[in-house]
Amino acid sequence: MSDIKVAVIGAGQVGGTCAQRILERRLADVALIDIAEGLARGKALDLSQAAATEGYDLKIEGGSDYSLIKGSEAVIVTAGLTRKPGMTREDLLSQNAKIVKGIIDSIKKYCPEAIIIMVTNPLDIMTYLAYKVSGFEKERVFGMAGVLDSARFRFFIAERLKVPPAEVEAFVLGGHGDSMVPLVGHTKVKGRPIDEFLSDYEIDSLVKRTRDGGAEIVSLLKTGSAFYAPSSAVCEMLESVLKDKNEVLPVSAYLERQYGLEDVYCGVPARLGSDGVEEVVEFDLSADELAALHRSAKQVREGIDYLKKSHLI
């Protein structure tokens, strides 16, 4: 048992693996919720039975009853549908918006003081929706995408240069998806600028592979999408919050004029601590990077406008 509890909504691939990582990192007790009750209960029971061999003494409960999340300091939202053949982007957006709205109402009811970390796609739009529907302070609602995109970029660079990924620093900003903005000017290997190691052409090809990183995995898995690296990225953010580490990470955060953007969620560097987003950090961006960030935010805003027109916000 821990005196810290975290709720994970959605016990699918990402949610189930998040629960596992939280326990194995000894971060908190876990409440795992899914509309499919047996899935959440079954995974919770399975994870409980790993306690003896993994050596954690933490409580994990699962089910579909939201009263289980009572007392959680943080709630990770991974519930949602994935795009099926024949489903338009707008269909997915509307359906996940309805799911997220229902979940946020339950979070408001059972843990009104919690921090919300969104994972459900389309990420930046769902995070904006969660912020608006919850009425929580902006600091307490943010989304995971950039830590994952950056981890992918770091891995591809590390693999190419045969160095440990931990020796590669990189930040990928912008909305999650095709319009992500890898900051090549801030990418370093062993503390040295990346262009000392790779040509522009080679860097561009790694940027492209990062941009297509999710799709590459989908095409290999055939069913479902990535979940090991996404759940790891979530836990990196969660740990910075629960341990008040104040790490600067790429976070989908609410912007109020930072980077010249307003009333939108978009991936930016942010300091994560016990209050959530403690500060949006303004890096010096090149004119091209800033323009790419604005293009990316514009795409997010189009999704937000669609939800507003559909009366879902």
User: By the criterion CB under 6 A, which residues form the site for ligand A3D?
Assistant: 9-15, 33-36, 39, 78-80, 82, 99, 102-103, 119-121, 123, 144-145, 148, 176, 224-227, 230
Can 176 be counted among the known catalytic residues? yes
What are the residues whose beta carbons fall under 8 Å from the beta carbon of 23, sequence distance 6 or more? 30, 47, 50, 51, 54, 56, 58, 60
- What is the C-alpha separation between 110 and 101, in angstroms, rounded? 15
What are the residues whose beta carbons fall under 8 Å from the beta carbon of 100, sequence distance 6 or more? 77, 79, 80, 118, 120, 126, 129, 130, 133
Centroid of chain to Cα 98: 19
Contact 284, 174 (CB under 8 A): no
For ligand A3D, the closer CB: 226 or 241: 226
For ligand A3D, the closer CB: 65 or 279: 65
Catalytic hit among 176, 186, 294, 311? 176
- What is the C-alpha separation between 291 and 296, in angstroms, rounded? 9
- Packing angle, helices 146-161 and 200-211, rounded to 10: 140
For ligand A3D, the closer CB: 126 or 206: 126
Q: How far is the CB of 77 from ligand A3D (least distance, A)?
A: 9
Q: Of 249, 272, 253, nearest to 263 (Cα)?
A: 253
Q: Enumerate the β-bridge partners of residue 30.
A: 6, 60
For ligand A3D, the closer CB: 13 or 20: 13
Q: Residue 258, by phi and psi: left (phi above 0), alpha (psi -120 to 50) or beta? A: beta
Bond into 122 cis (ω within 30): yes
Q: How far is the CB of 285 from ligand A3D (least distance, A)?
A: 22
Contact 58, 33 (CB under 8 A): no
Closest residue by beta carbon to ligand A3D: 12
Q: How far is the CB of 98 from ligand A3D (least distance, A)?
A: 8
Q: How far is the CB of 10 from ligand A3D (least distance, A)?
A: 4
For ligand A3D, the closer CB: 183 or 189: 183
Using DSSP, state whether 88 is helix, strand or coil: coil
For ligand A3D, the closer CB: 99 or 157: 99
- What is the C-alpha separation between 298 and 182, in angstroms, rounded? 17
Q: Report, as residue numbers or ranges, the catalytic residues.
A: 176
